[in-house]
Amino acid sequence: MKNSSSVDVSFTELIKSLMQTDPAAAAACIKEYLEKKNNTPLNIAITGESGAGKSTFINYFREMTNNDEGAAPTGCTETTFESSPYPHPKYPNVVLWDLPGIGTTTFPADEYLKKMGFEKFDFFIIISDTRFRENDVKLAKAIQKMEKKFYFVRSKIDSDLQNEKRGKNNFNEEETLKKIREYCIQGLQKEGFESPQVFLISNFDLHLYDFPLLHETLDRELPEHKRRALLMAMPNINLEVINKKKESLQSLIKYYAAASAAGAAVPVPGLSIAVDSALIVQAVTTFVVSFGLDVKSLDKLADGTGVAATDLIKEILSPLAAVEITPTLILNFLGQLGSVVGLMAGEEVSRFIPVFGTFIAMGLSFAVTYKSLNHILDKLAEDAQRVFKRALGLNSSV
């Protein structure tokens, strides 16, 4: 089976060939490719006993609170008796499935998985708020037997730490976390798991404790084409995630630029600029949403951290964040970039050059879009880092 990088190389060669013979077909191929990249399905199964915090985990991963419209219902009793899908509000291709705790059903573990449709899930997260019990173990072994990935998550760590700290003068958070982790691991080892890995998390503060480690593990173990789907849907839990998002988005810029070059092959003055601005609008909108710099995401972040949205917006320097992205806004922005203005002017003039004019225009159009999007991406990534630091009360040296 070909890996993703070899497929990308083959696709790039195909586009180069089509650009010389059929630019319209090249543009259509690029559009299909970008849509496929941006819509890779990822199905995550969340299971565990009632009250373990499954629904809260689902909601906060989706950057929602338990009270938001469309949130997974929460409660101390089992609220789920069938698998319930919860698509990510910004990335509907990423779906978290709330599965009933196996202890609430009459099915053995393997039959339970078949009934839940285990084939469609990319991996399972088994959540417990204490130790992992008999039903969790049975389920994990059945998942293992069916050759699917699963991860043990110990939730409500924040509550445990608060309870442990109460009334103690010599409280040590690191030691307490170590004790909780070892307790869970030893219990799983007794059940036959040789080297179980347990991730300690707080559903309300995903940037703390082991959630970043869980993401690193998933990023390492998922197939390459699934990693991007997970990354884009991942909340900005640390600066590394923001940087990884930037790298992933940057890898697509050449395709937006190639689509722009294909549009420049049409010998109509002014049309290429319109095509370029439309493509840049599409790309920049993707950048802004991915970094959480749209107004809705900033409001959510403000609600979750207690930092006023106006204070978060003050950290944003780019004129393309926290606003509606339109062709007019893009053209005004590009008009302030001297080097890009020169390329755009050269592209229009080149159309009047006999024979080679179209190819020159295509090259210049590629350069305009490529250079513009890289510049914009750099600035938006810097904004996302500043907003993240401000939201968590970090200074610039952290």
pLDDT per residue rounded down to tens, the chain (398 residues): 455 555 566 777 777 777 777 888 888 899 999 999 999 999 999 998 888 999 999 999 999 988 899 999 886 555 556 789 999 999 999 999 999 887 776 778 888 899 999 999 999 999 999 989 898 999 999 999 999 999 999 999 999 999 999 878 889 999 999 999 999 999 999 999 999 999 999 988 999 999 999 999 999 999 988 999 999 999 999 999 999 999 999 999 999 998 888 877 665 554 456 777 888 999 999 999 999 999 999 999 999 899 999 999 999 999 999 999 999 999 899 888 877 766 665 555 555 565 455 667 778 888 888 999 999 999 999 999 999 999 998 754 43
Segments making up each domain of the chain, as ranges: 11-38+244-391, 42-235
Rounded to the nearest 10 degrees, the angle between the axes of helix 134-145 and helix 109-116 is 70
pLDDT of residue 341: 60
User: Which candidate, 341, 345, 328, places its Cα nearest to that of 269?
Assistant: 345
User: Which candidate, 152, 295, 198, 293, places its Cα nearest to that of 236?
Assistant: 293
Q: Which two tokens stand for residue 122?
A: 């990319």
Bridge partners for 124 per DSSP: 45, 150
Task: Spell out the long-range contacts of 195-200 with Cβ–Cβ below 8 A and sequence spacing 24 or more.
Answer: 196/152, 197/151, 197/152, 198/132, 198/152, 198/153, 198/154, 199/151, 199/152, 199/153, 199/154, 200/154, 200/157
Count of Cβ atoms closer than 10 Å to residue 203 Cβ: 24
* DSSP reduced 3-state for 9: helix
Q: What is the dihedral of CA 317, 318, 324, 328, to 10 degrees?
A: 140
pLDDT of residue 261: 85
Phi/psi region, residue 242 (left: phi>0; alpha: psi -120 to 50; beta: rest), is: alpha
The structure tokens 């993707």 sit at 286
pLDDT of residue 292: 97
CATH superfamily of 42-235: P-loop containing nucleotide triphosphate hydrolases (3.40.50.300)
DSSP tag of 237: -
pTM of this prediction? 0.87
pLDDT of residue 397: 40
